[in-house]
Amino acid sequence: MKMDRGHMYDMFECVGDDDDEDAPGAETGGRNRHLKGSDPVDSFLGVGRRVELPVVVEHYYDDLLALALKEQVKSGGWKVVRVLGPDRESKPDYNEVQAGPGRCIGVLACGRLLLVRGATRLSVRIKCSRHGERAWVSVEGRLADKREAHNFAAGVDVVVRRRELYRGQKIKYNGGFQFLQTGARGWDDLALQSELKEELVANTVGFLKRSRELARYGIPRKRGLILAGRPGTGKTLVSKVLMSNSPGITCLAADPALLVHARYMRELYDIAGDLRPAIVFLEDIDLIGESRGGPGARGEALNELLDILDGVKECSEVVTIATTNYVEALDDALSRRPSRFDRVITMCPPGRELRREIVHNLCKRIPLDPAVQEHVVCRTEGYTPAQVQEVIYGLVIQGKNLYGVRKGCSFSREEVDGVLRRISRRNSEPIGFKKEDIYYK
């Protein structure tokens, strides 16, 4: 989000104004009159030899760079004399960036700071970019202030290289970073067989925690899983539960709209390598993973992903979880080649016991009579968890005999059957879903 110049004073404690021609002298606290038309940096730093030290990062860390600069100014006790634009004809450019889940901070994104601390003066430029160029900060000072300039640049560099802002967080990469609110989801929120839950944990969070130990047996420190199944079987919910139950592990969700770009794929895994141990989530991998002989194949992006999973590029301590509704359409190089995606886990519609568990969990907030609950369980054979949920919701939405939450909801079996007919009926076009029309993927 771009910010106007009025927010400047929220971000920096300015001694002077970038529109003033006067600024306090660093040594005396008096005022130095800048000559009209003179370069403000030359006037500020004076004549003589100077040193300039750069800090350069990939474009996707530009927010982190801007935050690191702001923190270095604050923690180092520097005072901002002036804030200038990137050149004499431009004004400073400010952005509002995410500094954590639900937390945004205003930063200087493109411009120059004139800083003083005691007798030391520094000119610090920053240029952030979202167009693929690298972002950078450049620290310039008088030769006599070389040590202070070096320490300032090193302080910014350390924060960027550690990447503590993102490490272990749950984030989405869409060219920049977006912090995700995963909520307090647990495995009890999923109606899955205990054996399947154990398999999922062992091959993801458990694998990353034991990767060093497993490497002693020659097991590569990377893993790949495909979650397959028709829509509504819980693939996305599994991903959310894994995010919520992976402390200390960076969870990196891909943007499906960008998966078709090979460069994006490279950046995604470069970031995962920087922030490892990490889990990369590729929703709807069929967007790029269709058979390379098919009409919709995305060869360049798919080949890039295969190179990464093959270990041509560093992918250690990274687990990849991909989801698809169309596993049979995937290229064999993805779905039938262990060491790329080592395991395909099919999410099937729940059996009777799991449907009973789903209905029971839903009825903690929508209390139905036990007999009605059991009738829903019996009538929803072959339904996905999402479809079972819609049956319960539809029953309440269309129902008229609601006693209230404490007394329960009074519905008959006939009303349940009526809801099932409504959500699966056909007019000229399909409405809702009809289980016999949904084939397994």
Q: How confident is the model at residue 292 (pLDDT cuts 50, 70, 90)?
A: low
Give the lowest-confidence range in 22-36, 176-190, 306-320. 22-36
Q: Are residues 378 and 327 in the same domain?
A: no
Say which residue, 165 or 34, is predicted with more confidence.
Answer: 165
Best-predicted range by mean pLDDT among 30-39, 105-114, 131-140, 358-367?
A: 105-114
Domain that holds residue 275: 178-346
Q: Are residues 377 and 341 in the same domain?
A: no
Q: Which residue type does 305 have?
A: L
The count of other CB atoms within 10 Å of the CB of residue 327 is 21
- How far is the C-alpha of 391 from the C-alpha of 359, rounded, in Å? 10
Q: Are residues 361 and 400 in the same domain?
A: yes
Is 406 a residue whose pLDDT tops 80? no
Give the lowest-confidence range in 142-156, 285-299, 365-379. 285-299
Domains of the chain: total: 3
**Count of residues making up the chain:** 441
Q: How confident is the model at residue 317 (pLDDT cuts 50, 70, 90)?
A: very high
Is 7 a residue whose pLDDT tops 70? no
Q: Are residues 341 and 390 in the same domain?
A: no
Assigned domain for 79 exists:
yes
Q: Are residues 328 and 430 in the same domain?
A: no
Which residues on neighbouring strands pair with residue 430, listed in sequence order?
A: 426
Is 431 a residue whose pLDDT tops 60? no
Asked if residue 391 lies in contact with residue 418, where contact means CB atoms within 8 angstroms, the answer is no
pLDDT attached to residue 17: 42
- How far is the C-alpha of 280 from the C-alpha of 10, rounded, in Å? 36
Q: Are residues 150 and 26 in the same domain?
A: yes
Last residue of a domain, one of 114, 132, 165: 165
Q: What is the CATH number of the domain that holds 423?
A: 1.10.8.60
**pLDDT tens string 213-243:** 999 999 999 999 999 998 888 898 899 999 9
Q: Are residues 328 and 358 in the same domain?
A: no
Say which residue, 305 or 406, is predicted with more confidence.
Answer: 305
Looking at residue 405, what DSSP letter applies?
T
- Mean predicted confidence (pLDDT) in 161-187: 91
**pLDDT tens string 68-124:** 999 999 999 999 999 999 888 889 999 999 999 889 999 999 999 999 999 999 999
Q: Helix, strand, or coil here: 328?
A: helix
- How far is the C-alpha of 324 from the C-alpha of 32, rounded, in Å? 66
pLDDT attached to residue 14: 46
Buried b (16+ CB within 10 A) or exposed e, 167-190: ebbbbebeebbebbebeeeebeeb
Assigned domain for 170 exists:
no
- How far is the C-alpha of 204 from the C-alpha of 249, rounded, in Å? 10
Q: Are residues 293 and 203 in the same domain?
A: yes
- How far is the C-alpha of 393 from the C-alpha of 362, rounded, in Å? 9
Assigned domain for 22 exists:
yes
Last residue of a domain, one of 125, 141, 165: 165
Assigned domain for 366 exists:
yes
Which residues on neighbouring strands pair with residue 319, listed in sequence order?
A: 223, 279
Assigned domain for 280 exists:
yes
Is 141 a residue whose pLDDT tops 50? yes
Assigned domain for 150 exists:
yes
Last residue of a domain, one of 346, 373, 405: 346
**N-to-C CA span, the chain:** 41
Q: Are residues 37 and 148 in the same domain?
A: yes
Q: Is the torsion defined by CA of 358, 359, 360, 363 positive or negative? A: positive
pLDDT attached to residue 29: 36
Q: Helix, strand, or coil here: 20?
A: coil
Of 306, 354, 346, nearest to 326 (Cα)? 346
Is 417 a residue whose pLDDT tops 70? yes
Say which residue, 117 or 37, is predicted with more confidence.
Answer: 117
Assigned domain for 69 exists:
yes
- Phi, psi at 147, each rounded to 5°: -60, -45
Helix axes 62-75, 146-162, angle to 10 degrees: 130
pLDDT attached to residue 170: 96
> Which residues 6+ apart lie within 8 Å of 100 measured at CB?
165, 169, 179
Q: How confident is the model at residue 407 (pLDDT cuts 50, 70, 90)?
A: low
Of 59, 357, 141, nearest to 234 (Cα)? 357
- How far is the C-alpha of 188 from the C-alpha of 255, rounded, in Å? 27
Assigned domain for 172 exists:
no
pLDDT attached to residue 130: 64
- How far is the C-alpha of 265 from the C-alpha of 289, rounded, in Å? 13
pLDDT attached to residue 89: 84
- Output the average pLDDT for the chain: 83
Q: Are residues 371 and 303 in the same domain?
A: no
Q: How far is CA 224 from the centre of its chain?
A: 19
Q: Are residues 182 and 45 in the same domain?
A: no
392: Cα within 13 Å, side-chain hemisphere: 26
- How far is the C-alpha of 27 from the C-alpha of 20, rounded, in Å? 19
pLDDT attached to residue 294: 54
User: Following DSSP, what letter does each residue of 286-340 receive, concatenated?
Assistant: HHHHB-TTSTT--HHHHHHHHHHHHTSS--TTEEEEEEES-GGGB-HHHHT-TTT
- Mean predicted confidence (pLDDT) in 113-142: 93
- How far is the C-alpha of 393 from the C-alpha of 396, rounded, in Å? 5
Q: Are residues 200 and 341 in the same domain?
A: yes
Q: What is the CATH number of the domain that holds 305?
A: 3.40.50.300
- Mean predicted confidence (pLDDT) in 194-216: 93
- Mean predicted confidence (pLDDT) in 177-185: 86
